[in-house]
Amino acid sequence: MVSVLFVCMGNICRSPTAEGVFRKLVFDAGRDAEFEVDSAGTIGYHQGERADPRMRAAATGRGYELASRARRIELLDFDRFDLIVTMDEDNYRDVEALNPGSRARVVRMIDYCEKHEVPEVPDPYYGGESGFHQVIDILEDSCGNLLRRL
């Protein structure tokens, strides 16, 4: 079984959406028995909250369910997960700073992006509705390629 953890800052926009998109792609491919999938944030400010309502609405409209609750990444995650996928450079640096030298491989989500030329998965929290759809576009591209490589 391959375990994948998606990480953004607050775990209410990008990483729960990556989790939802990846879960659906895995399910649609008939490979759900092969994967453990979760998401977390580098901060615990939104601990226990559902994904942002604007992101949930955008995701639902595209056929994705965002059912997880926000949590902060913890040291045990570095032993629990094979792959920790970060949404932006700050997330990458924060996760690497926590990494106790475990078996988990820390990567950037955009490393799997082929259709979109973006430096990171942008945080849509302070923007308008189009930002949430842009994030889903990027994540569909990246998660699809990630699944094909696993």
CB 64 within 8 A of CB 22: no
Q: Give 112's DSSP letter.
A: G
* Catalytic center residues: 8, 14, 123
pLDDT digit string (tens) for the chain, length 150 residues: 999 999 999 999 999 999 999 999 999 999 999 999 999 999 999 999 999 999 999 999 999 999 999 999 999 999 999 999 999 999 999 999 999 888 899 999 999 999 999 999 999 999 889 999 999 999 999 999 999 999
Cα–Cα separations (whole angstroms), residue 34 to 17, 20, 57: 20, 16, 28
SS3 category, 41: strand
Is this prediction's pTM over 0.85?
yes
Instruction: Report the CATH number that the domain containing residue 86 is assigned in CATH.
Output: 3.40.50.2300
Q: Which residues pair with 50 in a beta bridge?
A: 69
Distance between CA atoms of residues 90 and 119, nearest Å: 12
Find the domain containing 126 and state its range: 2-149
Dihedral (CA of 81, 82, 86, 91) sign: positive
Question: Total structural domains in the chain?
Answer: 1
**For 99-125, how does the pLDDT look when each residue is reduced to its tens digit (9 = 90+)?**
988 889 999 999 999 999 999 999 999
Is 49 buried (19+), middle (13-18) or exposed (0-12) by CB count in 10 A? middle
CB 122 within 8 A of CB 8: no
Q: Give 105's DSSP letter.
A: E
